[in-house]
Structure 1
């Protein structure tokens, strides 16, 4: 049954989407970013940032699960309509870091960057070098979606809090993300199976799947092990509460050695050993996702962009549905229904680009009614702009995520932020995840290794520290 629009987005204004962030920094201070209005035109209500009408604009888009067509057809088209004299350079890439890092070093920064994918840039390093523009003017600007409101007043809870680095808004997260386990609802219906609520039910289903030659669970060991790293951390939070994630993000002493982390890693490593398939360690995310579409994998840990990413390959026999991670222990701090609901798909404006004013306006156009509604139509993902998709026919995956969100209520798992704050730790975590899931190290060794890496970063005075 299709959910009404008000039901789909009922919870999207809740502060529980992301815990408030009180960011501060220690260690080296960031290089002051140039003013985004240094060479601006006169400002007005229609042109709050002082965009120079003829200034060119360069936009770099991560062409992953959401492709880059939305940028060309929607947001860049809207910018061209507003500033027809401005030439737009569009760059699509799946290697954001590889392609852009040399350009930032050389002083040739693009104006707008969609910083996503496995090679996303280290935002903290960019801030330290003064490359990320202050987005305060954007959040305070008049909304193009709802006249009489500021941009910030139109956004779901957590967007502004997640934009902060060193206490300053630097990054716009554009979509609402639901991260949990995805499965084929049609297969489950045909088999008479239900999504497991407890770990015992999970392993029992694993026995049934194994009998039919199906892996209960898989994640991509190449170009995507962070999916499982997320899964481990969010599972630990389910056992021990959101403080587990907050402690990890804050580089708290012993955070990775917490009992909840060890229990989560132990449970998943054993599940992989008993019901997984080591062949998936050699596959990337697309290859693994195709295997799931072929019903060779039951559960896959990912975010709500998955359906759109696989739209061209998805057969009629497959219908994406989302399920929370089963309760791992009888004493889990969070109930079975708890899932991670947060904001994702990062965009930033280059402070040292040729047209930072145009970059801010580009983001404002993304947050317009047409820009946000059109994005949902094209990518099957909800944006962070509230109340702009009335009447849209939503897909089964979006409806399933909405039902899961409704069931979770206030019991949401907070998003882990060490990925953006300490990319070195996040990247190291991916290699350690593959090692423990493949049985090359024990869960205790995983926890010890991650803790040592976190401690090393904590002790490095050259790295700015964040707290929440």
Structure 2
């Protein structure tokens, strides 16, 4: 749902919904009187994170020796790691014991974090940052994404922030007289010109499926507005409603025109990236985490100077926002409200005012924190993407962001069938909606 970011599964991870029994334990264990004194402020700045993500951990460790040295002397940083596949179980166990650390990686699905919030374990960052007089520490676009995911609350911190859109080959576009399309009609027309020139219009991974469903949600948000899928999650609309099926039809139409090339169902993520970076495809829908591939000269055969980035094209008379970018915050981090004391508050202030600049400088890693110190010498694409992030005031989510695990799997495993024609748009939406109905 990463070196700027490496491509870990944290980016687009399927929601993992805790079992009824586990949540009952979690909520019961966190009730009044449980855990005794363990809920008090800690002498250490304890931090639980997933072992796969070394970028965030490494930057916080670096801050503890530099900008946050004073805070670290008062409450030394103590890091514990757990495999991401065991993260939710670990969080439930610790919550049941009233023993969550000061900072921890939020659950794989927003649902778990929201349950932890109901039991008093999640810090209200909106209030906390306001009390520290740094309400502007989190960029508007990142705050918008977080609130969309967490029921309107600023429940996590955006150590990583990814915007998604259409990357395109500037040279191929120029050679074929194509300007970066702003409307869906122009987008389809650009695809036709590319196909006529012998270039695959759109590189995508049908094997993973989610790069294709991102196009469905992009169309939905542009046509019906940013709340299109929230209405589905809230039961106010269904994916089988005609206006929703229309979006699936639009993406299926791209497939019927041959815009994804041959064998879309067997193309994986790395192959799709390679198609674009070798000049075989004119466009590539992907998130900003792909910058690590773009900045790798061994992979990038077309040259960084020939890569452009544009928002999802606008659907005629649609209700979507201008410059529409889907966004996510990777696997976000949060603070334990029960252990939030003066020392934890000092750590939060130091992190919020320093992390954005240091991560960008050290790792070319884009976060959702405001840059308090200018960073020079960035690769051009990283710099321009950071500017896009800075200027984004409102963002949208992705297709499966609010889905159950079952519906997410159904969506992604049937995406290739949607664009290859083996599954009709109506049937595709029915399959996913049926799983939403039984979640």
Normalising to structure 1: TM-score of the pair? 0.69
Shift of 1:321: 1.9
Aligned in 2, Cα 1:435/1:31: closer, same or farther, shift over 3 Å?
A: farther
Q: Secondary structure at the match of 2:159?
A: strand
- Residues 418, 426 of structure 1: 8 Å contact kept: yes
Aligned in 2, Cα 1:86/1:60: closer, same or farther, shift over 3 Å?
A: farther
Q: Give 1:2-401 correspondences, 5 Å limit.
A: 31=27, 33=30, 38-39=37-38, 50-53=41-44, 57-60=47-50, 62-63=52-53, 68-72=54-58, 74-79=59-64, 81=69, 82-83=71-72, 86=76, 88-89=78-79, 91=81, 96=84, 98-101=85-88, 103-104=90-91, 111=101, 112-114=103-105, 121-125=108-112, 127-128=114-115, 134-136=121-123, 138-141=125-128, 149-157=132-140, 162=146, 165=150, 170-189=155-174, 191-223=176-208, 225-254=209-238, 256-273=239-256, 274-312=258-296, 313-315=299-301, 317-319=303-305, 320-328=307-315, 330-334=316-320, 337-340=322-325, 342=327, 344-349=329-334, 364=348, 367-390=351-374, 392-398=376-382, 400-401=384-385
- Residues 222, 318 of structure 2: 8 Å contact kept: yes
CA deviation vs aligned residue, 1:168-225 (integer Å, no higher than 9, x gap)? 65433334432221123344345543222344443443344334542111222334x2
Find the aligned partners of 2:119 and 2:293 in 1 and give their Cα distance: 28
Shift of 1:70: 4.9
Q: Secondary structure at the match of 2:164?
A: strand
Give the number of the structure whose residues are more often helix, by fraction.
Answer: 2
In the alignment, structure 1 residue 440 sits paired with structure 2 residue 430: no
Shift of 1:340: 2.0
Corresponding residue number in structure 1 for 2:397 = 415
Find the aligned partners of 1:349 and 1:409 in 2 and give their Cα distance: 23
Find the aligned partners of 2:244 and 2:236 in 1 and give their Cα distance: 14
Q: Secondary structure at the match of 1:181?
A: strand
Find the aligned partners of 2:413 and 2:361 in 1 and give their Cα distance: 36
Find the aligned partners of 2:135 and 2:207 in 1 and give their Cα distance: 37
- Residues 276, 282 of structure 2: 8 Å contact kept: yes
Shift of 1:326: 3.2
Aligned in 2, Cα 1:417/1:333: closer, same or farther, shift over 3 Å?
A: closer
Corresponding residue number in structure 2 for 1:24 = none
Shift of 1:317: 1.8
Residue of 404, 407, 422 corresponding to 1:425? 407
Shift of 1:288: 1.7
- Residues 216, 297 of structure 1: 8 Å contact kept: yes
Shift of 1:385: 2.4
Aligned in 2, Cα 1:438/1:316: closer, same or farther, shift over 3 Å?
A: closer
Aligned residues: 398
- Residues 159, 329 of structure 2: 8 Å contact kept: yes
- Residues 269, 436 of structure 1: 8 Å contact kept: yes
Shift of 1:52: 0.9
Find the aligned partners of 2:246 and 2:214 in 1 and give their Cα distance: 15
Q: Secondary structure at the match of 2:325?
A: strand
In the alignment, structure 1 residue 456 sits paired with structure 2 residue 435: no
Shift of 1:364: 2.1
Find the aligned partners of 1:332 and 1:362 in 2 and give their Cα distance: 45
Find the aligned partners of 1:314 and 1:434 in 2 and give their Cα distance: 26
CA deviation vs aligned residue, 1:104-162 (integer Å, no higher than 9, x gap)? 566599855556xxxx723424654789873436544468xxxx844544222365562
CA deviation vs aligned residue, 1:216-258 (integer Å, no higher than 9, x gap)? 11222334x223222211211212223423312323243x123
Find the aligned partners of 1:365 and 1:414 in 2 and give their Cα distance: 28
Corresponding residue number in structure 2 for 1:46 = none
Ranges in structure 1 where 5+ consecutive residues have no aligned partner:
1-27, 42-49, 458-468
Aligned in 2, Cα 1:226/1:367: closer, same or farther, shift over 3 Å?
A: farther
Shift of 1:375: 1.4
Find the aligned partners of 1:428 and 1:341 in 2 and give their Cα distance: 21
Aligned in 2, Cα 1:138/1:277: closer, same or farther, shift over 3 Å?
A: same
- Residues 183, 322 of structure 1: 8 Å contact kept: yes
Shift of 1:379: 4.3
